[in-house]
Copies of this chain bind each other. A is one copy, B any other.
Amino acid sequence: MSTSERLIESTRALLWERGYVGTSPKAILERAGAGQGSMYHHFKGKPDLALAAIRRTAEEMRATAAGVLDGPGTPYERIEAYLLRERDVLRGCPVGRLTMDPDVIADDALRAPVDETLDWLRARLAGIVEEGREQGEFAPGLDSEEIAAAVVATVQGGYVLARASGSPAAFDAGVRGLLALLAPQDRQPRTRP
């Protein structure tokens, strides 16, 4: 792996574990096994390197979500598959957790990939809810954008509950609760693998 790659991958790991505020340039260099000079050769500084790292994490999250949401099944089944897909629940969401980072939120450039990714996810889910309404799987009175926001919020908030309690059970409970409310009549939600 090139030095530039090692710097980006180390930054991604540290941002996920410790957030932006908690990640020092020194910690990145140590993890990457790189010197200060090489960081400034490839990047303008911590914000620039963090932006590259956040963009890559955001792209990965989008690809993973798209893989499930564009998969087979009815609209309900695709939303179910998205909510139940395997996750490293106790680590939290590498994109969503950045919203609790004051220096990310204060910097429009760093916030942009976070906002765009969650926005994309909501829009994609809203389209699926819309399909489900048209096919009669969901009630016609539901607002697809509101349901989509509730789905994304349940996942993001599920991480909060799981990390607070030190167990994925709380995440699973929230997701199952939402699925039970969303499920077409006479349908039992499945369980996360």
Contact = CB atoms under 8 A, between A and B. Distances in A.
Instruction: Report copies per complex.
Output: 2
Nearest to A163: B99
Tier of interface size on chain A: 35 or more
Contacts of A142: 177, 180-181
Contact of A102 (B19, B96, B119): B19
Contacts of A158: 149, 153, 157
Contacts of A170: 118, 122, 149
Contact of A22 (B17, B22, B154, B155): B22
A148 interface: yes
Interface string A142-168: 110111111111111111110111100
5 contacts: A145-B173, A149-B173, A149-B176, A155-B157, A157-B157
Interface of A: 17-19, 21-22, 92-93, 96-97, 99-103, 105, 111, 114-115, 118-119, 122, 141-143, 145-161, 163-166, 170-171, 173-178, 180-182
